Structure 1
């Protein structure tokens, strides 16, 4: 009889302990926290962009790329021709000022231009023989460690475009190299 009482007593203690501890699971949380955010010029951000070509112009600390013949001293041309693919090397300098490796790529979701991509120069001895590598989500840049930097270029495809001025946006994405 004492054995049964002891087992029942232990069972009650274990059951009540489990109820107190619980599983820790929850279905939703809303929490308000204070944030301090410093918005700085592109050249001072965690991911730095600096203009190193005549195609890059800084307006209010933000880099803009212009291929309209207005940024001297370019050439005698006034812009990009239709039904063409243009590749510009070494347009921007990018540096990782964060604390972890990142990989860089671009996304273009606009409809104004047929296609736009960032590029990264590859080593002359690589399988690509020193050509520029197009940076996409499935084919990002080599990991860029803290303090590391490289120059990036851009490829612009004007297929289906008529002469005129186009204003569009290219998303430059940096993701943690460890997140894969």
Structure 2
């Protein structure tokens, strides 16, 4: 009898030990929190984006910067009447049309810490590939090779490189979304 009591007691102790260890563990949790977010125009955001020049290739619409290449009225000053970019080519646009100012746009760090800038493009199959570059150095700004750290208050003059290799000719324009990243760096 005592042997059975001992075995039953050990079994109860082992089972309660398993429950005691496992009772505080969880594999997932969900918690609702309130987040207050202020959204600002490009010109007043943490990463300030400003068109350079007179708005022919870079422009501001509703507080957001955009680009038209070739820009409206591109033939007005050169008389060449371009209809678009050539196939299987790489173009660099480092300034606005008919303007000597360097940079298609400027990115300024209005945050609280140094950042490195680069651009990405989600869709690249069958559409032009667009990459941001530093007009002063000529370096492409990619995730693998971002800008040098930009201190708070500093700006970088940028251009766009457009690669049309493997892109078919078509009547309507390509709409490409370029994402500009500013990643904080360690102090």
Fold shared by both chains (TM-score > 0.5): yes
Against the structure 1 CA distance between its residues 143 and 26, is the aligned structure 2 distance closer, same or farther, given a 3 Å change threshold?
farther
Structure 2 counterpart of 1:65:
67
Q: SS state of the match for residue 104, structure 2?
A: strand
2:50 counterpart of 1:50: yes
Q: SS state of the match for residue 132, structure 1?
A: coil
Deviation of the 1:174 alpha carbon? 1.2
Q: Which of 85, 92, 98 pairs up with 1:80? A: 85
Work out the CA distance in 2 between the residues paired with 1:104 and 1:82. 29
Q: Which runs of 5+ in 2 are unaligned?
A: 1-23, 95-102
Structure 1 counterpart of 2:108:
95
Q: SS state of the match for residue 178, structure 1?
A: coil
Work out the CA distance in 1 between the residues paired with 2:119 and 2:84. 22
Q: Which of 112, 115, 119 pairs up with 2:133? A: 119
Deviation of the 1:81 alpha carbon? 1.5
Q: Which of 161, 166, 179 pairs up with 2:167? A: 161
Q: Taking structure 1 as the reference length, what is the TM-score of the superposition?
A: 0.73
Q: Contact between 2:58 and 2:67, CA under 8 Å: does it hold in 1?
A: yes
